[in-house]
């Protein structure tokens, strides 16, 4: 299973719509970094509106992909984290500090524009 | 009281199957969306531990429904190598697999009751309960 990555101007947009297993998460990490490299995108929004569970493994993969993209020079914003998912992550002790987030896709794009100064 | 449902864990995809079954059971018992997410996440952590450390095992769900209590009990059993230092494994951030070390301490916080037994060479048994409020 592959998570589709869409390109819009110099941004990449991802909406995760499926149940994520570990392999899909790792594959997504690779695909995204590859796509950043090939497209020269400067900003990425990963929308998690349809994701109803984030466990410690998926949280680690998401946190890592933000740091990895940052190393490559692309800013990533996570959007649409559901209330139940936010509460569960804090119970797990996962705070995802240093990970930029926004309420929804629209706010996420605004945040990227501000951070990138375009 | 319904008969228990069990799911075998021996491949990575079984982690997804286990958390879907956990969520389904939680929904049927009338847990709200937040508790459903807590239960599904706890199942996911326990199933991943079985897959990572013991390679195979089983998670069973059981409804608890009597005059005093209503809740969901899950038992994760494996015949893996066992945990040598449980208090260390229960510490936030301790991991031997390169993960976040959030699994076991996280499950304890996500659930209302938590009990762990482990014997070196014989395996690990974890029982966790969430009560319907």
High-pLDDT (> 90) share of chain B, %: 77
Q: In Å, how far is A117's CA from the nearest CA of chain B?
A: 33
Q: What is the arithmetic mean of pLDDT over A58-84? A: 96
Is pLDDT at B2 greater than 60 in this prediction? no
For A6-116, which CATH superfamily applies?
STAS domain (3.30.750.24)
- Summarised one tens digit per residue, pLDDT across range A39-63 is 999 999 999 999 999 999 999 999 9
φ, ψ (nearest 5 deg) of residue A28: -60, -40
Q: Which residues of chain B does A83 touch, with a Cβ-Cβ cutoff of 8 Å?
A: 34
Q: By the 8 A CB rule, do B47 and B15 touch?
A: yes
Nearest to A88 among B38, B48, B105 (CB): B38
Hey, what domains does chain B have and what are their CATH numbers?
5-131 (3.30.565.10)
Is pLDDT at A81 greater than 80 in this prediction? yes
Compare A98 and B31 and report the one with higher pLDDT: B31
Given this model, what pLDDT does residue B3 score?
61
Domains of chain A: which residue ranges? 6-116
State pTM to two decimals.
0.92
Q: By the 8 A CB rule, do A79 and A107 touch?
A: yes
Q: By the 8 A CB rule, do A78 and A62 touch?
A: yes
DSSP class of residue A2 equals -
Given this model, what pLDDT does residue A68 score?
96
């Amino acid at each position: 299973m592959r998570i589709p990555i869409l390109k819009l101007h110099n941004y990449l947009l991802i909406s995760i719509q499926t149940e994520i297993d570990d392999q899909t998460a790792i594959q997504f990490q690779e695909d995204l970094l590859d796509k950043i490299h090939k497209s020269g995108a400067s900003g990425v929004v990963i929308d998690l509106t349809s994701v109803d569970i984030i466990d410690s493994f998926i949280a680690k993969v998401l946190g890592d992909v933000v740091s990895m993209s940052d190393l490559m020079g692309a800013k990533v914003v996570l959007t649409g984290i559901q209330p139940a998912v936010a509460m569960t992550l804090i119970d797990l002790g996962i705070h995802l500090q240093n990970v930029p987030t926004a309420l929804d896709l629209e706010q996420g794009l605004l945040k990227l524009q501000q951070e990138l100064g375009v | 009281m319904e008969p228990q449902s069990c799911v075998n864990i021996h491949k990575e995809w079984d982690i997804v199957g286990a958390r879907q079954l956990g969520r389904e059971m939680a929904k049927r018992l009338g847990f709200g969306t937040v508790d459903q997410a807590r239960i599904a996440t706890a199942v996911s952590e326990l199933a991943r531990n079985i897959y990572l450390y013991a390679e195979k095992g089983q998670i069973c769900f059981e409804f608890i429904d009597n005059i005093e209590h209503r809740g969901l009990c899950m038992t994760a059993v494996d015949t893996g190598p066992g945990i040598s230092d449980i208090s260390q494994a229960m510490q936030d951030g301790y991991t031997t697999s390169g993960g976040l070390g959030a699994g076991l301490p996280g499950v304890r916080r996500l659930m209302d009751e938590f009990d762990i037994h482990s014997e070196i060479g014989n395996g690990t048994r974890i029982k966790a309960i969430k009560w319907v409020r």
